[in-house]
Amino acid sequence: MDSSPSLSSIRLSRSELAVFVSGVVSMGLEILAGRMIAPEFGSSIYTWGSLIGVFLAALSLGYHRGGKRAATHASTSRLVGLFLLSALYVAGLILFGDLLLQATAGLPLPSRFASIPGTVLLFGPPTYLLGYVSPYAAELSGQSDVGAASGHVYAVGTVGSIVGAFATTFLLIPTMSTSQIGLLFGLLSVGTAVALAVPNVDRDQVFWSLGITLVLLVAGATGGVGLDIGGDVVYDTQTAYQELRVVDSGGTRTLYLDGQPHSAMDKSDPTRHVFEYTSYFHAPYLFTDEGRDIDRVLFVGGGGFTGPRVFLDTYPNVTVDVVELDPEVVRVAKEYFAVEESERLTIHTMGGRQYLQQTDETYDLIVLDAYKKDKVPFQLTTVEFMQLADERLDDDGILFANVISAPSGPASQFYRAEYKTMQQVFPQVYSFPTAGGVVVQNIEVVATKQDTLVTREELQARNRQRDVGIDLSAQLTSYRNDEPTDDVPVLRDDRAPVDSLLDPMVGQRYVVVQSNESATGGRTNATSATNIVGEGLETHSAVPASESRSV
């Protein structure tokens, strides 16, 4: 006797189909919401906690209201209407999501709660509507045992949620844009509405199904409206880790990750320092003893490989290893930023801490360039990580960290905590804010194994005496070596409150100083003072301008 299940035994009933799809769409939208909100509000624990809370609240309210109305209102036609309304709202998300998020970002709320209004406005209504589906489906199941009907319905819905979570995370986000994923969920909702309605589809249902499908297709084709990064978008994708965008503006190509600039390249002169902070990558050469070369460099974080290019183009004897977690970042760097692996450049696609734990290599310099303004991998900030980096450095090796924070004031908490953490491992720690003032900016932190303090005056003297490929006299004026750290914690693996330390920076303008260099031979000088403002980022030309080695 054939014991295998028949096709009819595993076919979903209409109510089961409705519940299953509602689980897929609601959980898929929740995962997608994290990617849509991240460019505006970051992806800290506060953002994700708020997002999960809003979705649970909207679903609970939908369950409650649907349960009270199910006995008198539950019908197949109402389920059809719920899915069509949800699809229409998803079309609105695609078209106006960015604009609405940017509008709510200006509300006067504590930064850790800043993402809640936008999340409620964008994702509360469709999630609330989908919450009606389960109690309506339980009522329509025809079972007299209320407990059995409810348990079965919520089990099917949970399976749908599992499918939605895994499919969105592992399949959709790595291969599709947010607007395309939204379009897919919208079309899935319309398709479910049609499947529920057949064969008794009335004229209104046909009209609304076709109309909403058309709106969804238009929304998916346009990709939405709203303020955007200035320039021509050359490439745009959702990776497994972040939103990635390559933008050309004038003669400059910039890599944006989750809406923030991470690397920039002058297309006509790829070796030029576009962002001022990259000139500080030469500073470690002033902290070494006379005659001591830096030959082996490790970068934790690749981006557009601006930093590695600085060493490869300036110092012929240097070899560089780069550890980059996101394989799509590596691919984009090769295709759009002219990065080529060679005997002097080796790329490892893995986590930075994982690499340091596995490698037997030692380095003269480790550059930590994996921090974002509002998304910092805590495992790269702790005492234990600093000890691991110290073990992978030569006896007189140097750790260089590109930190995004404010040098003082409330928004400086992360920088000062990281400074204090480095002091637990390295005898001397120095820092160089790159933009001046108390704004959020790149702060270059240099940690050495040398017990003897190197003063600002000694660094200036070495800058005059040594040829490190660039004149750093202007950059060295921001020298700091004695930061107040009594009110910030030492970061440890078992307690690294990075999200709360980053919290004061939410909504703050991130200022990147843009150098204006010419390659006319030798050490060059130029001055300019133009500002470009957009998406919470302000880019200044350097004043005084940085000076660059001619290549």
pLDDT tens, position by position, 91-103: 999 999 988 888 8
Strand 345-348 to 319-323 pairing? parallel
Give pLDDT tens digits for 307-348: 899 899 999 999 999 999 999 999 999 999 999 999 999 999
- Calculate mean pLDDT across residues 66-86: 93
Which one is predicted more confidently, 125 or 375? 125
Which one is predicted more confidently, 201 or 506? 201
pLDDT of residue 88: 96
Q: What angle do CA 98, 102, 104 make, to 5 degrees?
A: 120
pLDDT of residue 277: 86
- Calculate mean pLDDT across residues 282-302: 91
pLDDT of residue 263: 87
Choose among 189, 32, 245: nearest CA to 119: 32
pLDDT of residue 291: 66
DSSP at 476 = G
- Calculate mean pLDDT across residues 410-424: 96
- Calculate mean pLDDT across residues 167-192: 92
C-alpha–C-alpha distance, residues 121 and 297, integer Å? 47
pLDDT over 60 (residue 5): no
Six-digit token pair at 354?
């994982």
User: Are 468 and 523 a contacting pair, CB within 8 Å?
Assistant: no
**Longest Cα pair distance anywhere in the chain, in angstroms?**
92
What are the C-alpha distances in Å from 328 to residues 167, 178, 304? Answer: 19, 16, 11
pLDDT over 50 (residue 353): yes
pLDDT of residue 414: 95
pLDDT over 70 (residue 534): no
Output b/e per residue, 288-318; b: 16+ Cβ within 10 A: beeeeebebbbbbbbbbbbbbbbbbebbeeb
Length of the chain: 551
**Percent of the chain with pLDDT strictly greater than 90:** 60
pLDDT of residue 511: 87
- Calculate mean pLDDT across residues 109-128: 90
Coil/strand/helix, residue 400: strand
pLDDT of residue 312: 93
C-alpha–C-alpha distance, residues 513 and 540, integer Å? 5
Element (H, E) at 533: strand 531-534
Averaged confidence pLDDT in the chain: 86
What are the C-alpha distances in Å from 127 to residues 93, 122, 166, 424? Answer: 12, 10, 18, 48
> Three-state SS across 50-113?
HHHHHHHHHHHHHHHHHHHHHHHHCCHHHHHHHHHHHHHHHHHHHHHHHHHHHHHCCCCCCHHH
Confidence of residue 550 (pLDDT cuts 50, 70, 90): very low
Any idea which of 103-117, 219-233, 285-299, 361-375 has the lowest mean pLDDT?
219-233
pLDDT over 80 (residue 6): no
pLDDT over 90 (residue 262): no
Choose among 157, 105, 95: nearest CA to 131: 157
Any idea which of 371-375, 498-502, 540-544 has the lowest mean pLDDT?
540-544
Q: What positions carry a catalytic annotation?
A: 369
pLDDT over 80 (residue 11): no
**Percent of the chain with pLDDT strictly greater than 70:** 89
Choose among 139, 166, 169, 172: nearest CA to 18: 139
Six-digit token pair at 100?
């609405």
pLDDT over 60 (residue 297): yes
Choose among 159, 432, 426: nearest CA to 281: 432
C-alpha–C-alpha distance, residues 93 and 125, integer Å? 11
The total of other beta-carbon atoms located within 10 Å of residue 274's CB is 24
Confidence of residue 471 (pLDDT cuts 50, 70, 90): very high
Confidence of residue 539 (pLDDT cuts 50, 70, 90): very low
The total of other beta-carbon atoms located within 10 Å of residue 411's CB is 24
User: Are 294 and 315 a contacting pair, CB within 8 Å?
Assistant: yes
pLDDT of residue 520: 29
Confidence of residue 530 (pLDDT cuts 50, 70, 90): very low
pLDDT over 90 (residue 374): no
pLDDT over 80 (residue 540): no
pLDDT over 70 (residue 519): no
pLDDT of residue 226: 55
pLDDT over 80 (residue 349): yes
Any idea which of 204-218, 250-264, 418-432 has the lowest mean pLDDT?
250-264
Confidence of residue 466 (pLDDT cuts 50, 70, 90): very high
Element (H, E) at 213: helix 203-222
C-alpha–C-alpha distance, residues 519 and 548, integer Å? 7
The answer for 258, left when phi > 0, alpha when psi is -120 to 50, beta otherwise, is left
Choose among 289, 341, 304, 349: nearest CA to 320: 341
Domains of the chain, start order: 14-222 (1.20.1250), 276-505 (3.40.50.150)
Long-range contacts of 536-539 (CB under 8 A, 24+ apart): 536/259, 536/507, 536/508, 536/509, 536/510, 537/260, 537/261, 537/509, 537/510, 537/511, 537/512, 538/509, 538/510, 538/511, 538/512, 539/261, 539/511, 539/512, 539/513, 539/514
